[in-house]
């Protein structure tokens, strides 16, 4: 599998992702400028956390307008795999690649801590190495991680099994404890917790590595 990481001005988790993929997953990985217009060579695109463009306007709003995101939309329609983490999740919602939006935390402060998550759906390309209802631990670090969507969208997320991870002891007010969702087609994942910061025991846990290993466990027919 060939991974690409889009690095925006202000991204600060791009190299964490590079290390997780290159050194821990042992897969090909390349850093990509946010000005890139062609992503056809990649099987998986990762959109990292950080503060793209300083989080001016709204988190992810300016990042969604970058040239690379137009290329992401193209390959997403082709079935390529896209993962947005933290600010990357915000960019995906601002780009209308995932439903809903990320608002200021219910208690308006930056939260940085390890968080327990429940694996709500382990039948996705991102979670098939987990067990159903497994409790996993990954760090969170955000000020605008409060996931919101209207009631109709929430019903669709629930009925289509698009909710992959839920918070235990909801830290930010996200509706229905949502920590990570997919699109209807199942090839795009957005999540606020940071799996790339949970790939070695010395970091505090390895549950994040299991997410990336799930991609390697995926049927090759998913990758066009």
Question: Which are the catalytic amino acids?
Answer: 86, 194, 196
Q: Are 166 and 177 in contact (CB under 8 A)?
A: yes
Can you tell me whether residue 78 is helix, strand or coil?
A: coil
- Cα torsion angle, 80, 135, 106, 163, sign: positive
d(CA 170, CA 175): 9
d(CA 143, CA 141): 7
Residue 127's region, left for phi above 0, alpha for psi from -120 to 50, else beta, is alpha
Task: Classify residue 73 as exposed, middle or buried by CB count within 10 Å of its CB (0-12, 13-18, 19+).
Answer: middle
d(CA 19, CA 14): 9
């Amino acid at each position: 599998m060939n991974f690409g990481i889009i690095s925006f001005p202000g991204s600060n988790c791009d190299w964490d992702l590079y290390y997780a993929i290159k050194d821990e997953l042992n897969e090909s990985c390349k850093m990509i400028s946010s000005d890139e217009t062609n992503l056809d060579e990649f099987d998986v695109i990762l959109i990292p956390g950080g503060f793209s463009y300083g989080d001016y306007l709204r988190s992810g709003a300016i990042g969604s307008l970058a040239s690379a995101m137009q290329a992401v939309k193209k390959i997403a329609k082709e079935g390529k795999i896209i993962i947005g983490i933290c600010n990357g999740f915000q960019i995906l919602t601002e780009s209308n690649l995932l439903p809903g939006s990320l608002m200021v935390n219910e208690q308006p402060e930056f939260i940085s801590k390890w968080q327990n998550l429940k694996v709500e759906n382990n039948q996705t390309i991102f979670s098939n190495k987990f067990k159903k209802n497994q409790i996993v631990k990954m760090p969170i670090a955000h000020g605008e991680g409060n996931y919101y969507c209207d009631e109709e969208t929430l019903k669709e997320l629930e009925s289509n099994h698009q909710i992959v991870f839920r918070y235990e002891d909801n830290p930010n007010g996200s509706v229905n404890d949502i920590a990570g969702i997919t699109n209807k087609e199942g090839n795009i994942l957005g999540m606020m917790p940071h799996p790339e910061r949970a790939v070695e025991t010395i970091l505090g846990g390895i549950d994040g590595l299991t997410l990336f290993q799930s991609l390697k466990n995926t049927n090759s027919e998913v990758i066009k």
